[in-house]
Structure 1
Amino acid sequence: MTNNKIVKYSKTKRSVYTEIIINASIEKVWSELTNFKEMPTWSRSLQKIEGDFIQNGHTEVHFMDHKGKVGVYKHQLKYFEEGTLFGWSDPFILGITDNHKYQLERISDHQTKSIQSDEVNGFATLFMGNYIMDFFLKSYTEFNETLKNRVEKTN
């Protein structure tokens, strides 16, 4: 059973929520999730993060789209808790604000819930909201599954 979903709050505000249970410690999942050097070998979306990987750090986030083109986005890490959380809330495209988080929750010493969520706001959401959120849902679900496979394979 999955709780992956898109919620439409208004014409200009939507969110996507994805989660997966990984059979590994939270420390192991965090280590793999933040191993940006190896990430391009297993992730087809998030390729790497460069810069100051700390609270309020300025970063460049490299994402690959479904056509194989890598876009680089500058983000400030507004959300950061070592070992459990990182994310940003910055303008994305056409004035849409992207509020993206990667979060880990300890279930037990050998199980971790990995949550990837996003919220978009902005006028262009009226026209592009469905397309963006469908793409995010598919991309985040795939990322979560490949992260799970990667961690459990190396566990």
Structure 2
Amino acid sequence: MKEIYTEIEINASVSTVWGILTNFDKFPMWNPFMKKISGNLQEGASLEAFIQPPNSNGMTIKPKILEYQSGKKLRWLGVLWIRRLFDGEHSWTTEEINENKTLFIQKERFSGFFVPFGSTLLKNTKAGFEQMNLALKKECEKN
């Protein structure tokens, strides 16, 4: 198992950050990593997302939501090809530092047979998370 962990402090309220994170229609306007995402935000539902880590052509994934706590956490499981080959459990978490400052945590735990061979994908994905985090910060702090 491998894990990517990123975090960033955003000078905005949790509700502002969460509102931008869950307004999927606007992702193409600000998100350099997750270019498109759609679906219902509820446990058990499936999403469809187009992700494009740096130095890649991108791919469409159809993860299933494992946990959804409005304003706090979204966690899903994405599977590449078939289960247990290269699975990724992705999460976004927001933590209130104070009423105008939020800690945004984005992480993913990878498991499966092909994970040991995916070091380039993992490195590019981490860079994509960092780009998205910075873009989210910029978008939230515009208001």
Q: So what's the TM-score if we normalise by structure 1?
A: 0.84
Among residues 78, 90, 96, which one is paired with 2:66 in the alignment?
78
1:21-66 deviations in Å (ceiling 9; x for gaps): 0001000000011111111111111123212221211211221343
> Which one-letter code corresponds to 2:107 in the other structure?
S
Cα distance in 1 for partners of 2:111, 2:104 equals 24
CA distance in 1, matches of 2:14, 2:61: 27
Contact 2:61 2:78 in 1 (8 A): no
Unmatched tracts of structure 2, length 5 or more = none
* Secondary structure at 1:38 match in 2: helix
Q: Equivalent residues in 2 for 1:6-155 (5 A)?
A: 13-66=1-54, 69-92=57-80, 95-128=85-118, 130-154=119-143
Q: Would you identify which runs of 4 or more consecutive aligned residues in structure 1 move more than 2 Å?
A: 64-71
Equivalenced residues, count = 141
Secondary structure, counterpart of 1:24 in structure 2? coil
Larger % of strand: which? 1
Distance 2:98 2:107 in 1: 22
**One-letter identity of the residue aligned with 2:18:** W
Per mean C-alpha deviation after superposition, the further-off stretch among 56-65 and 78-87 is 56-65
5+ long unaligned stretches in structure 1:
1-12
Q: Which residue of 2 aligns with 1:3?
A: none
Q: Choose 16-25 or 35-44, whichever is displaced more.
A: 35-44
Contact 1:64 1:70 in 2 (8 A): yes
- Computed over aligned residues only, the root mean square deviation of the Cα atoms, in angstroms, reads 1.6
State whether residues 27 and 37 of structure 2, in contact with CA within 8 Å, keep that contact through their aligned partners in structure 1: no
Question: Within 2, Cα distance between the matches of 1:68 and 1:40?
Answer: 17
SS of aligned partner of 2:24: coil
Cα separation, 2, equivalents of 1:92 and 1:74: 9
Q: What is the aligned-residue identity percentage? A: 26
Which deviates more from structure 2 when the two are superposed, residues 26-35 or residues 91-100?
91-100
The Cα of 1:67 is off from its aligned counterpart by 5.4
* TM-score relative to the length of structure 2: 0.90
